[in-house]
Structure 1
Amino acid sequence: MRDHQLGGSSVHGNLPLELDAFVGRSAELAGLAGVLGAARLVTVTGAGGVGKSRLAARAAVRCAPCDGVWRVELAPVRDPEFVDHAVVEALGLTDHTTRLPRETLLAHLAERQLLLVLDGFEHLVEACAGLVGELLGQLPGLRVLAVGRRPLGVAGERVFPLAPLGEDEAVELLLSRAAEQGTAVADGPEVREVCRRLDGIPLAAELAAGRLRALSPGQLLDRLDDRFRLLTGGGRDAPSGSRLRSTPGAPPSRHRTLRLAIGWSHELCTPQERLLWSRLSVFAGRFELEAVEYVCSGHGLEADDVLDVLTELLAQSLVVREETPAGVRYRMLDTVRAYGADWLEAAGDAARLRRRHRDWYLGLATWCELDWFSPRQHEVAARVEAELPNLRCALERCLAEPEAAYLGQYLAGSLWFYWAGCGRLSEGRHWLEQAVRLDAGHERSRLKALWVLGYVAILQGDTVAALAALQECREEAERSGDATAVAYAEHRSGCLALVRDDMARAESLLRSALDRYREIGELNSNVLMGQVELAMARAFQGDLADAVLLCEDVRRVCEDHGERWTRTYALYVLAYAAWADGDPARARTLLTDCLAGAHSFHDLLGSVLAVELLALVTVVQGDAAEAAVLQGAAARMWPSVGLPLFGSAYYNAPHELCEARARERLGDERYEECVAQGARLVREAAVSRALEQPTCTNPPPPAPTRAGRRRAEVVLPPAGDQRA
């Protein structure tokens, strides 16, 4: 969750920062804020480029409820099935269970006062209407501000149609945008006539402002007049899908006025600028410079020229530059992108560009999978997060084309680290299940998708689906002689046995898998996690010393390679061992490192297990009340992980020991009060509190006896199942 500044106001949520001045619209802003205060569903409608998104964001700030304003950008979403996923993603939610995304939303929003902004839904009306109707029907604290070209058609909807700017405001906007680009232009009859011809549409005025670097207002008006005369009779040079047809001499509609302004900007572009504009339309959402240089170069546009041409499109407001956690990204407004897509199709170059787009993101996934086992794990996670709309686009294209289906299987499997390591299990399973259903004639790619599907199903607690996928993977891998797939299938089968409390089988399978990894020279985060899981199995069987040796080795290798994700689980085992040896201070140090790492990757299982063990360490150090608070916080986190403590005696033992000690010191009533206090903490607050060093209010009890230590060795919970 984040706090953002918008128009001088701080608002809790994810609204983007404003990069340029907000001009005019004071009456509309007050009107929309008033409607938002009276209705739970308001839809701002209007033509493309009329300024709906900017006005909605401003009004949302004025009406922000206590739990903030959260914007869902739906323009890059192509598949209606991903509407729910997009909302979950925008809210920053992580859920590792088999619950559907909508169930996750209902659970998360149940007690919150929140404004949800759905921006750019018009191509997904049916899916969005169904979602909004269900959410509003069950969540009294939720309000929805929808932004699109048409109403949603949901009961109780208040429609707020947005008209273009008045003449004075349109002139102010054009002059303001020109000044921001370093061009001083005075108000005058020609500037006002330009704004009138452009019907006060903000995007059209901004495009015109970009041309005032090279043209005087008079020249700009003359060219615009030529464009009107040409296009009202049917354009000779425009793609057939974008020609403007109307009665000669009649003023075009606002939609056609915008298309006219965009087409006029297109005419004023150089040939290279037109090429790049059309080719950029293959991207979904934001894109990076390196991707543009690869995907869009060639056939009339050299890679070395791409940056200069892109800079010109930026100066003309045809492309927008944005700062993201993954670095600088660019995007095109939907109306501008759609115009470029028409030209790309008309040029007969769309299929080639889509292939290049696909190949770039296949390469990106390959690089990220390799780089996950490095000091750049967080950078990799941020990059995949930023590129997710384009990766989805590549997956859709691959899985929809029989000849490219094997590439879709490879891509879905290569993103295992993101599905499993960054809390995207539900989406990962969606793609993986689609991929393994296809017979693409490329066994190796399908086998990878199969073992990753088994892995994801384990992390979701779906043991039946996991067993089916892993058995099929192993049988097919042995038949085809794929030693790598055999090793991974065996490894994940050992992980499955571990979470099912079959320690002997888990140890046997994990040792065999680790031997296979050594034989084929495999070393990565998966291999090290297998060693941590083996340590779990050894600890369950009473050999905590062996578990420590295994995890110290994992910790050393992780630190040598800069690996952070698997390291958190090794730290968890070492922390438990430190507690069992009567050293709670060292256990706390290890656990705070573990928790910080797990939380940074949105690893819910690693986080909740660390909080549970920190509660036990806290009661040992003498603060029973704080221990009970942490147990309450953990209890709130478990539903997003799965069955609380998995119904396992191994997992339950540390929790039960902590509870027994805390109840003994506090009494039942006070203990329950503290647990209830912790249960009110959201995950961010719970993690922050758990990472704070508590103050001991009572002297610590004696260190565990030797008998107690033997008991601890038997009940060590298996962190390595990684439902993260």
Structure 2
Amino acid sequence: MRDHRRDGVPRGNLPLELDSFVGRGAQLAELARTLDSARLVTVTGTGGVGKSRLAARAAARRSPRDGVWRVQLAPVRDEEFVDYAVVEALGLTDHTTRLPRETLFAHLAERELLLVLDGVEHLVDACAALVTDLLGRAPGLSVLAVGRRPLEVPGERRIPLPPLGPEEAVELLTVRAGQRNVTYGYDADLDEDHGEVRELCRRLDGIPLAIELAAGRLGALSPAQVLQRLDDRFRLLTGGDRAALPRHRTLRTAIGWSHELCTARERLLWARLSVFAGPFDLEAAEYVCSGEELPADDVLDVLSALLDQSVLAREETSAGVRYRMLDTVRAYGADWLAAAGDAHRLRRRHRDWYVGLATWCELEWFSPRQGEVAARVDAELPNLRSALEHCLSEPDGAHLGQYLAGSLWFHWVGCGRLSEGRRWLEQAVRLDAEPTAGDQSRLKALWVLAHVAILQGDTVPALAALQECREEAERSANPTAVAYAEHRTGCLALVTDDARRAERLLRSALRRYRDIGELNSNVLMCQVELAMTRAFQGDLREAVRLSADVRQVCEDHGERWARGYALYVLAYAAWSDGDPVHARALLADCLGGAHRFRDQLGSVLAVELLALVTLAEGDATEAAVLQGAAGRMWPSVGLPLFGSAHYNAPHELCEAAAREQLGDERYEDCVRHGARLGRREAVSRALRRPGGAVSLPGPRPAGRRSAAGSQTPKPAASPTHRGGETAG
């Protein structure tokens, strides 16, 4: 990704150009002029004409204060997910029950940025409504839409993109063929075949995707041979009237021609790969697409051939190498898959792979690979959504859908996707009004739904889901579900200020976890929550003992997420003991991890406590700035819930002392300054040590202790994990 930065803060997510940009000088200039004078510009044109590439090139040349952000809409199939896709692209996190559009209103209201909506044609109504609302609420926002159809909203300026001119088309074919010569060994000089090259580009109507596909064949065929084969197909489909050939048919003909030149196994893999909703890796392709006609061991060779022919593209991501198809190419393969009568079977195989992936990721979340798991699920989200859709649309898919939605709890809760998770969980639970006795999938979906609702501050539906889960779990003698229901009920009591009841329920849940041998991030969070209840009741010694034990277990297993909350409790105790240096070290570790996981609750709690630590270090001005930054973050968490007497105590203490030192006017000025900071800016500022530089600490290898850790009391044996009596 192109990472525009100001003061170390990212200012966009435009993809880096992996190959040269050819031609389009006039269109680039026109688009730049139009973007200077209009807030909504739509680039339209036929599939494969180069709209996305042109828009990305033009957008990269702009420098609005808050950056350029691209939203890829091709993988989005449901109009309800358009808003979520924009929220995700902007890197926003919202734990509340607010609709994603409200989150966008709040984020964009005072920002100056360019939003690129790429691939709007299949979601025109939803995109038009969103753009109209956003432009009306955010005066600093501009939108560059890309699609085969305009949005048809007031104020829209349209830039229809024609195919390449003759010289540009020849240049593109020559450049791309030259790039492939190194790999594929075609040594002919294209200048000697200039007539055939020009004619080939004319037959392809100057459509860049068609030219790219033709260039992929120049590793094996001469321009004259390519032209002859293409000419035969054009005549077949158009009755010989090439001059009247519509451009959309030209593209489909070019894709079909490339399809015919593929071997039988290449065509088969092309069709089967069309079931992927987004980028995929080799292992997924080998499982989903293999069969009697195409053994798994042969998938790599066939996939490589499709890559050579530009049917597939390869890209590097934070989760490793991925492959993707352009939407037009995928649609062609999907037609062939449907015609073969194999679409349903392949979608089920696709579903099964991603259910298995979610199962693996849930297990690996409690391991040193936690960061890798977070990146993997982020990369696979379009395909996981497709699998969820398939489960929930199948007559017999309710239980599997409940299992999949529940197994992704760590992603919904730990990686800042509460709103989307709740949508899937509610759909899954509604599908099965009469569960079978002891149905583990439904019970899991219920307690995960309750957990999500609790974190959103929506207590009534959370309590209803927990009651249903507990009653059914007891009726079916399911001890695991009983433990989770009791744990989450205790969590609900904790965040609603009933610390005594919370302690009773959490201790009981820990005993149940111990009895069934359960150990994972949820169990450790239960012990952290118990530590919080003790801290809120004034027993810091017990709170430290419980949290230090969690910290040690986390470091033994490489767990980072629950560890961050344990560090928060330890930091609070260190501050209470008059040791701001130790408290800051613990909070820096806590905040860095929460920010990487997009855990908004963990982030804002740490920033609030860092403000209090900063005050203790003698800097009331910076403390007030951090309070303002936290104040901007709280609405994304749920201020009515977590702004309770216990969670809000650090804020109130800090505010009272800072106001006294600075005076009301100066304090409010500092708070307003902090409130203008974005999420990453706020985190960077909070992590700036006195007199030092900003840093976002990276993860340390599992099992290693920080220097600050040596100041923490030695962890006691935990009954939950080591047979003692701490949690009981």
Q: TM-score, normalised by structure 1?
A: 0.92
Output the CA distance in 2 between the equivalents of 1:65 and 1:644: 35
Partner SS, residue 181 of structure 1: helix
Deviation above 4 Å: which 4+ runs of structure 1? 247-250
From 493, 497, 505, the counterpart of 1:497: 493
Partner of 1:341: 334
CA 1:530 to 1:129, structure 2 compared with 1: closer, same or farther past 3 Å? same
Partner of 1:237: none
Partner of 1:414: 407
Output the CA distance in 2 between the equivalents of 1:249 and 1:541: 83
Partner of 1:216: 222
Partner of 1:71: 70
Correspondence 1:639 to 2:635: yes
Partner of 1:120: 119
Alignment map for 1:31-430 (pairs within 5 Å): 31-182=30-181, 183-184=186-187, 185-187=189-191, 188-233=194-239, 251-430=244-423
Q: CA RMSD in A?
A: 1.6
CA 1:4 to 1:23, structure 2 compared with 1: closer, same or farther past 3 Å? farther
Correspondence 1:549 to 2:555: no
Output the CA distance in 2 between the equivalents of 1:578 and 1:28: 61
Correspondence 1:685 to 2:681: yes
> 2:497–2:645: 8 Å Cα contact kept in structure 1?
no
Partner SS, residue 285 of structure 1: coil
> 1:510–1:534: 8 Å Cα contact kept in structure 2?
yes
Partner SS, residue 219 of structure 2: coil
Output the CA distance in 2 between the equivalents of 1:367 and 1:478: 28
Shift of 1:672: 2.2
Q: TM-score, normalised by structure 2?
A: 0.91
Partner SS, residue 147 of structure 1: strand
Deviations 1:346-376 (A, max 9, x none): 1111111111100000000000000000011
Partner of 1:662: 658
Partner SS, residue 330 of structure 1: strand
2:12 alignment partner AA: G
CA 1:403 to 1:341, structure 2 compared with 1: closer, same or farther past 3 Å? same
Deviations 1:135-182 (A, max 9, x none): 112211111111111111111111111110011100000010011112
Output the CA distance in 2 between the equivalents of 1:502 and 1:658: 24
Shift of 1:593: 1.0
2:55 alignment partner AA: A
Correspondence 1:533 to 2:529: yes
Output the CA distance in 2 between the equivalents of 1:583 and 1:441: 53
Output the CA distance in 2 between the equivalents of 1:640 and 1:199: 50
Partner SS, residue 196 of structure 1: helix
Output the CA distance in 2 between the equivalents of 1:133 and 1:249: 42
Partner SS, residue 374 of structure 1: coil
Output the CA distance in 2 between the equivalents of 1:11 and 1:424: 21
Output the CA distance in 1 between the equivalents of 2:507 and 2:589: 28
2:309 alignment partner AA: Q
> 1:436–1:450: 8 Å Cα contact kept in structure 2?
yes
Output the CA distance in 2 between the equivalents of 1:454 and 1:217: 63
Shift of 1:645: 7.4
Shift of 1:441: 4.7
Output the CA distance in 1 between the equivalents of 2:599 and 2:363: 20
Partner of 1:477: 473
Deviations 1:381-415 (A, max 9, x none): 00000000000000001001121121111000000
> 2:3–2:13: 8 Å Cα contact kept in structure 1?
yes
> 1:11–1:64: 8 Å Cα contact kept in structure 2?
no
Deviations 1:307-356 (A, max 9, x none): 11111111111100011111111100111111101111111111111111
From 560, 569, 587, the counterpart of 2:583: 587
Shift of 1:200: 0.5
Shift of 1:248: 5.7
Shift of 1:250: 5.9
> 2:495–2:641: 8 Å Cα contact kept in structure 1?
no
> 2:496–2:641: 8 Å Cα contact kept in structure 1?
no
Partner of 1:715: none
Partner of 2:555: 559
> 1:232–1:250: 8 Å Cα contact kept in structure 2?
no
Shift of 1:665: 2.3
Deviations 1:181-213 (A, max 9, x none): 124542310111000011110011110001011
Alignment map for 1:590-605 (pairs within 5 Å): 590-605=586-601
Output the CA distance in 1 between the equivalents of 2:256 and 2:3: 39
> 2:2–2:15: 8 Å Cα contact kept in structure 1?
no
Deviations 1:486-510 (A, max 9, x none): 1101100000000111111111111
The farther-off stretch of 253-262 and 632-641 is: 632-641
The farther-off stretch of 655-664 and 70-79 is: 655-664
From 419, 432, 435, the counterpart of 2:425: 432
Partner of 1:722: none
Output the CA distance in 2 between the equivalents of 1:323 and 1:155: 39
Partner SS, residue 403 of structure 1: coil
The farther-off stretch of 440-449 and 485-494 is: 440-449
Deviations 1:225-277 (A, max 9, x none): 111111224xxxxxxxxxxxxx9666321000000000000111011111110
> 1:36–1:63: 8 Å Cα contact kept in structure 2?
no
> 2:391–2:398: 8 Å Cα contact kept in structure 1?
yes
- In the alignment, structure 1 segments of 5+ residues that lack a partner are 234-246, 697-724
Output the CA distance in 2 between the equivalents of 1:117 and 1:499: 39
Shift of 1:584: 1.5
Deviations 1:627-674 (A, max 9, x none): 111111111111111116734222232222222222222222322222
> 2:4–2:67: 8 Å Cα contact kept in structure 1?
no
> 1:635–1:644: 8 Å Cα contact kept in structure 2?
no
Deviations 1:497-529 (A, max 9, x none): 001111111111111111111111110000000
1:421 alignment partner AA: G
